C-alpha cells in the first residue's frame, strides 16, 4: 500500500496545473548542467509543454543555445540523444516529439522603467490568437531593462506578472532576471535581487539569467562581470573573459559546443540552454533530489509464428528489483509471472516467452521496476501469435513437352505470395500473384518454390517441373542376314527424350538373358544367332511426350558349313590360258575378283 500511495502522489504531481507549486523553482548557475537531466523528463517536457517566449537579442541566447544543442552529433557530456529539438509547430524528429516554442510570439521584451506593453500583448495573444490555444507556459526576457529600472518599475513588472497568473491560472508564467551589465552593476544587482526575493517568497518559477552569467561551469563566481562574460576588478579594470578561458582549457564537442549567443560567447549560450532544459524538466514534475526509476528503454511488441520464442526487454537507470507481469485478458489485471516452462527471466531485464500455441496471442507484458520506496511501470508490450498461411500449390504439370506451362497456388489472403525459380532459366510471368504462366523452361529439371507470407511468418513449398522433347526416329537397320553362330546387333538412332524401350520378336516380348541383352534400349544384341532367331524384330519406344514404333526388321539366317566340311585350299589351274581361270573348291564361291590378267 505504501508503494501504491507514492505512485499516485507522483502521478498527481505530473498532471497538476503548471502554475501550482508548493515552493519556488529557481533556475540558476547550479542548474546549468545537462548530465543530471533524465531522458524521460526531456521527452515528457517535449510532449507536454507549449511555450510562448517573447524576447529580443539577449533573450535569444536561450533559444539559439537550445537549437545548436539539438544538432549535436558528438560525445557531448550528458548528451542523451536526439531529444533536445524544438520547433514552433510541434514537429517530430523520428520517434521523438520536439518541444513546442512559439519563439518571439509578440514583438519586444520586458521594456524599461515600468513599461508593461508586453503584458497587454500577452493577454491579447492568449485570448484571441488560434496558435495560443494550447499554450501552458509564457516567458519574457529583459534586454537591458533591469539596468536602468527603479523599485517602482520592478514592482510594476511583478504586479503585471501576478495579474496574468490570476487571469490565466492554468498557465505557468516564468519570471526572469536581467542580463549582466558591468556599467550599471549596483542598480542591476539590486533590481535582480528584488525579483529573486519576490519569486522565493511567492513560490514562483524564476529563470535567473544574471546568476547563470556570473559563474563558470567549475562554480567560480565573477562578482563584476558583463553579458559578454568579461570580468573586472572592483576598480573597473578588465581581468579577462571567463567563458573564453574555460573554453580554451576544455574540449570542444565534449565539454562545450559551438553556438551563436548574442552579445556573448558560446559557453554562455550552452549554459543558458542547459538551464532551460532543467527548467522544462522541473515544470513537468522532475525532482532532481529524489531518487526515482528512469526507464530508458521500453519493451517492444513481439510476434511469433504459430509457436516459438518471444522476447521483451527493458532498461533503466537503477533498481532494487524488477518483476515482469502479464495481462491475459483486457478486463483482468496484470499479474506477476514466475519462472516455469513458458517464462524465463521474470526478474531480469529481458523476459523470454516460449509460446506454446496461438492462445497466447494478445497477451500484454510489462515490467515493474522497484527502487527504494518507489517503483516505475513500463509501457505494455503485446505478444502476437501469427498463424502461418501454408504454401499450397493447387495445380502444376510435373512433365511438359512445351516451353509454356501454368502454376496455381492457394490464395494466401490476407497475406502475400511469391514464386521463385531455384534451378533453370524459366521466366515467371506474375511472380507476386497466386496464378501465373511460366515460359522459357530449361530442358530437363526446373525447380521452383512458392512462398506465402503474413505478418513476418513464411511458408515455402518446393517442387520440380521437367521439360522434355518428343521422340523422333532418325534411322534404323533394315534387312539383316547374319550367319549362325555370330552375334547380331540392331541399332535405332533416335532424337528426343526416351523414357522406356521394349524389343519384340513378332508379338513376343524379349527379355534380357543369355540370348538377348539391352532389350530395353534402342540397341538390341542377339548372341550366338541360330536358325530359330529368324523372324521380324521391332521396338516399342516410349518417350515422356510420345510413343513410337520402329519398322520391323527381318532377320534371315544363313547356315554356316562345319569345319570338317571345309577345304581350305582353293586350286586355280592351269596358269591363265587364253584368258580363262579354272577353279576347284569344296566351298561355295559367292564372288571372285580377278585383277591384272593380261
The pLDDT score that the predictor gives to residue 564 is: 44
User: What confidence category does residue 582 fall into, taking pLDDT thresholds of 50, 70 and 90?
Assistant: low
Residues 242, 252: contact at Cβ < 8 Å?
no
The pLDDT score that the predictor gives to residue 172 is: 98
Beta-sheet strands, E only, within 427-509: 427-428, 435-439, 444-454, 457-467, 472-476, 488-489, 492-495, 498-505, 508-509
Residues 170, 136: contact at Cβ < 8 Å?
yes
The pLDDT score that the predictor gives to residue 9 is: 32
The pLDDT score that the predictor gives to residue 553 is: 93
The pLDDT score that the predictor gives to residue 1 is: 32
The pLDDT score that the predictor gives to residue 96 is: 65
Distance from the Cα of residue 233 to its chain's centroid:
60
DSSP letter (8 states) at residue 486: S
Average pLDDT over residues 499-503: 96
* Distance separating alpha carbons of residues 209 and 197, to the nearest angstrom: 15
pTM for the structure as a whole: 0.54
pLDDT digits (tens, 9 = 90+) for 399-415: 999 889 999 999 999 99
**Nearest residue to 110 via CA among 172, 153, 61, 64:** 153
Distance in Å from the first CA to the final CA of the chain: 142
User: What confidence category does residue 549 fall into, taking pLDDT thresholds of 50, 70 and 90?
Assistant: very high
Residues 585, 570: contact at Cβ < 8 Å?
yes
pLDDT digits (tens, 9 = 90+) for 361-397: 999 999 999 987 778 899 999 999 999 999 999 999 9
Beta-sheet strands, E only, within 247-320: 295-297, 302-305, 308-313, 315-316
Does residue 86 register a pLDDT over 80?
A: yes
* Distance separating alpha carbons of residues 65 and 276, to the nearest angstrom: 10
The pLDDT score that the predictor gives to residue 4 is: 35
Angle at 109 between CA 104 and CA 114, to 5 degrees: 155
pLDDT digits (tens, 9 = 90+) for 315-369: 998 888 999 999 999 999 999 999 999 999 999 999 999 999 999 999 999 999 9
The pLDDT score that the predictor gives to residue 91 is: 58
pLDDT digits (tens, 9 = 90+) for 428-467: 999 999 999 999 999 999 999 999 999 989 999 999 999 9
Does residue 12 register a pLDDT over 50?
A: no
Mean pLDDT of the chain: 89
User: What confidence category does residue 579 fall into, taking pLDDT thresholds of 50, 70 and 90?
Assistant: low
SS3 category, 381: strand
Would you say the C-alpha torsion 54, 56, 62, 68 has a positive or negative sign? positive
Percent of the chain with pLDDT strictly greater than 70: 89
Does residue 21 register a pLDDT over 80?
A: no
* Distance separating alpha carbons of residues 598 and 579, to the nearest angstrom: 7
* Distance separating alpha carbons of residues 448 and 5, to the nearest angstrom: 64
Does residue 5 register a pLDDT over 50?
A: no
The pLDDT score that the predictor gives to residue 226 is: 95
User: What confidence category does residue 595 fall into, taking pLDDT thresholds of 50, 70 and 90?
Assistant: low
C-alpha cell at 583: 577353279
The pLDDT score that the predictor gives to residue 93 is: 55
* Distance separating alpha carbons of residues 375 and 314, to the nearest angstrom: 14
The pLDDT score that the predictor gives to residue 502 is: 97
List of residues 6+ apart from 369 with CB closer than 8 A: 293, 295, 314, 316, 319, 322, 375, 376, 377, 378
| Structural domains in the chain plus CATH codes | 2-283 (3.40.50), 295-386 (2.60.40.10), 393-467 (2.60.40.10), 472-555 (2.60.40.10)
pLDDT digits (tens, 9 = 90+) for 256-311: 999 999 899 999 999 999 999 999 999 998 888 777 788 889 999 999 999 889 99
Average pLDDT over residues 48-58: 94
Does residue 49 register a pLDDT over 70?
A: yes
Amino acid at each position: 500500500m505504501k508503494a501504491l500511495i507514492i505512485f499516485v502522489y507522483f502521478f498527481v504531481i505530473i498532471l497538476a496545473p503548471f502554475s501550482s507549486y508548493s515552493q519556488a523553482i529557481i533556475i540558476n548557475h547550479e542548474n546549468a548542467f545537462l548530465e543530471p537531466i533524465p531522458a524521460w523528463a526531456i521527452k515528457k517536457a517535449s510532449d507536454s509543454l507549449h511555450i510562448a517566449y517573447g524576447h529580443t537579442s539577449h533573450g535569444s541566447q536561450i533559444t539559439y543555445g537550445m537549437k545548436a544543442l539539438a544538432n549535436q552529433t558528438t560525445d557531448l557530456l550528458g548528451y542523451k540523444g536526439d531529444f533536445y529539438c524544438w520547433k514552433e509547430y510541434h514537429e517530430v524528429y523520428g520517434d521523438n516529439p520536439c518541444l513546442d516554442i512559439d519563439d518571439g510570439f509578440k514583438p519586444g521584451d520586458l521594456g524599461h522603467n515600468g513599461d508593461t506593453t508586453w503584458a497587454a500583448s500577452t493577454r491579447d495573444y492568449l485570448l484571441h490568437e488560434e496558435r495560443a490555444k494550447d499554450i501552458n507556459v509564457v516567458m519574457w526576457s529583459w534586454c537591458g531593462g533591469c539596468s536602468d529600472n527603479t523599485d517602482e518599475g520592478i514592482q510594476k513588472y511583478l504586479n503585471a506578472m501576478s495579474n496574468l497568473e490570476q487571469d490565466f491560472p492554468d498557465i505557468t508564467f516564468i519570471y526572469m532576471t536581467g542580463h549582466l551589465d558591468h556599467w550599471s552593476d549596483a542598480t542591476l544587482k539590486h533590481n535582480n535581487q528584488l525579483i529573486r526575493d519576490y519569486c522565493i517568497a511567492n513560490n514562483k518559477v524564476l529563470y535567473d539569467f544574471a546568476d547563470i552569467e556570473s559563474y563558470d561551469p567549475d562554480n567560480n563566481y565573477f562578482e563584476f562581470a558583463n553579458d559578454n562574460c568579461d570580468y573586472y576588478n572592483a576598480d573597473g579594470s578588465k581581468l579577462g573573459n571567463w567563458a573564453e578561458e574555460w573554453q580554451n582549457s576544455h574540449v570542444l564537442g565534449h565539454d562545450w559546443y559551438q553556438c551563436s549567443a548574442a552579445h556573448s560567447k558560446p559557453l554562455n549560450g550552452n549554459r543558458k540552454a542547459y538551464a532551460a532544459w532543467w527548467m522544462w524538466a522541473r515544470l513537468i514534475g522532475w525532482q532532481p533530489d529524489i531518487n526515482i526509476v528512469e526507464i530508458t528503454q521500453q519493451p517492444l511488441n513481439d510476434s511469433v509464428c504459430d509457436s516459438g520464442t518471444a522476447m521483451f526487454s527493458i532498461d533503466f537507470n537503477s533498481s532494487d528489483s524488477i518483476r515482469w507481469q502479464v495481462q491475459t485478458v483486457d478486463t483482468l489485471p496484470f499479474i506477476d509471472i514466475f519462472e516455469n516452462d513458458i517464462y524465463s527471466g521474470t526478474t531480469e531485464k529481458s523476459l523470454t516467452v516460449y509460446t506454446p500455441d496461438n492462445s497466447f496471442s494478445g497477451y500484454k507484458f510489462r515490467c515493474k521496476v522497484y527502487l527504494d520506496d518507489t517503483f516505475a511501470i513500463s509501457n505494455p508490450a503485446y505478444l502476437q501469435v501469427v498463424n502461418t498461411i501454408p504454401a499450397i500449390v493447387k495445380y502444376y504439370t510435373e512433365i511438359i513437352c512445351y516451353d509454356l506451362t501454368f502454376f496455381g497456388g492457394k490464395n494466401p489472403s490476407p497475406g502475400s505470395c511469391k514464386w521463385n525459380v531455384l534451378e533453370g532459366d524459366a521466366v515467371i510471368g506474375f511472380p507476386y500473384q497466386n496464378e501465373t504462366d511460366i515460359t522459357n523452361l530449361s530442358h530437363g529439371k526446373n525447380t521452383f518454390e512458392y512462398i506465402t507470407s503474413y505478418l513476418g511468418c513464411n511458408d515455402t513449398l518446393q517442387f520440380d517441373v521437367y521439360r522434355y522433347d518428343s521422340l523422333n526416329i532418325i534411322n534404323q537397320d533394315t534387312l539383316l542376314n547374319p550367319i549362325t553362330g555370330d552375334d547380331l546387333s540392331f541399332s535405332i538412332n533416335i532424337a528426343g527424350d526416351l523414357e522406356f524401350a521394349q524389343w519384340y520378336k513378332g508379338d513376343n516380348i524379349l527379355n534380357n538373358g543369355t540370348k538377348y541383352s539391352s532389350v530395353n534400349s534402342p540397341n538390341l544384341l542377339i548372341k550366338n544367332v541360330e536358325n530359330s532367331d529368324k523372324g521380324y524384330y521391332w521396338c516399342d519406344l516410349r518417350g515422356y511426350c510420345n510413343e513410337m514404333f520402329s519398322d520391323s526388321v527381318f532377320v534371315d539366317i544363313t547356315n554356316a558349313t562345319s569345319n570338317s566340311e571345309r577345304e581350305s585350299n582353293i586350286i586355280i589351274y592351269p596358269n591363265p590360258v587364253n584368258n580363262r581361270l579354272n577353279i576347284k573348291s569344296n566351298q561355295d564361291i559367292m564372288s571372285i575378283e580377278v585383277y591384272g590378267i593380261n
